[in-house]
Amino acid sequence: MNRSSSVQRAFVLLIGSAVVAVLSVLCAVIAMAHMHGAARTLAEVGVPARDVDDVRSQMGGALTDIIGGSIVAGLCVAVGILVVRRPKKSARLIALGAAVVAIFVTFVTLSESPETYTSAPDGSAAVRAAYENLLPSWYPYFISVSTAIAAIVLIAAIVFLFRTDAGEYYRPVAANGQESLGKHLLRQRRERDSSAP
């Protein structure tokens, strides 16, 4: 007997979500490095040093929050990846809880929008252009798309974990008293391990 196809699909989707979390961290770090370089341009076009420091701290704080949230979401998903294929009811609950927490953190992270700090106060075209260059032009699109992908993938993983074959996989004893798929697989593994030289 093979593992439940729904559990396998949930496992793959959780891995996909972890990849999205890692990409979010990397892109936020790149955006932060870009922001620090672009903030120097603000000073060069005549923006007061206090305003430059304020923008740098506010945008840096928002990007740091995104990095932290993505790391937390990635760690939650990693816990789900580690336990989801174990044929125990508690493993299913842990994987579901990890996915729900990751979805919540992903949406909270989205609310930390650093692009709100790229709108320039009144000033010349050079000042407006310097403010618009504080973030890489692709970053707002990336964060929106990656958040949507992460949410869809995590919701799909949750749905797969609630399917009937996943329930049978995690059920310790089937309703009719026969051995469930999860118990059968565990027994097979133990028999293989005990018979190995």
CA distance 167 to 130: 55
Asked whether 183 and 174 are in contact (CB, 8 A), the reply is no
In a domain, 42, yes or no: yes
In a domain, 185, yes or no: no
CA distance 144 to 147: 5
Q: How big is the chain, counted in residues?
A: 197
Other residues' Cβ atoms within 10 Å of the Cβ of residue 177: 6
Q: What are the pLDDT digits (tens) for 135-154?
A: 898 998 998 899 999 999 99
Q: 3-class DSSP state for residue 179?
A: strand
pLDDT attached to residue 177: 60
In a domain, 194, yes or no: no
In a domain, 40, yes or no: yes
pLDDT (average), residues 82-97: 89
The torsion angles phi and psi of 179, rounded to 5 degrees, stand at -70, 135
Q: 3-class DSSP state for residue 177?
A: coil
In a domain, 12, yes or no: yes
Tell me what percent of the residues of the chain surpass a pLDDT of 90: 41
Domain count, the chain: 1
In a domain, 190, yes or no: no
pLDDT (average), residues 150-165: 92
Q: Amino acid letter at 70? A: S
29-67 burial: b if 16+ Cβ within 10 Å, else e: eebbebbeebbebbeeeebeeeebeebbeebbebbebbb
* Average pLDDT of the chain, as a whole number: 85
In a domain, 64, yes or no: yes
Q: What are the pLDDT digits (tens) for 177-187?
A: 666 666 777 77
pLDDT attached to residue 80: 93
CA distance 92 to 162: 9
Which band of pLDDT confidence, cut at 50, 70 and 90, is reported for residue 36? confident
Range name among 25-29, 59-63, 85-89, 124-128 with the lowest pLDDT average: 124-128
**Residue among 57, 59, 68 nearest 134 (CA):** 59
CA distance 67 to 107: 13
In a domain, 152, yes or no: yes
Which range marks the domain in which residue 93 is found? Answer: 5-171
Higher-pLDDT residue of 120 and 135 is 135
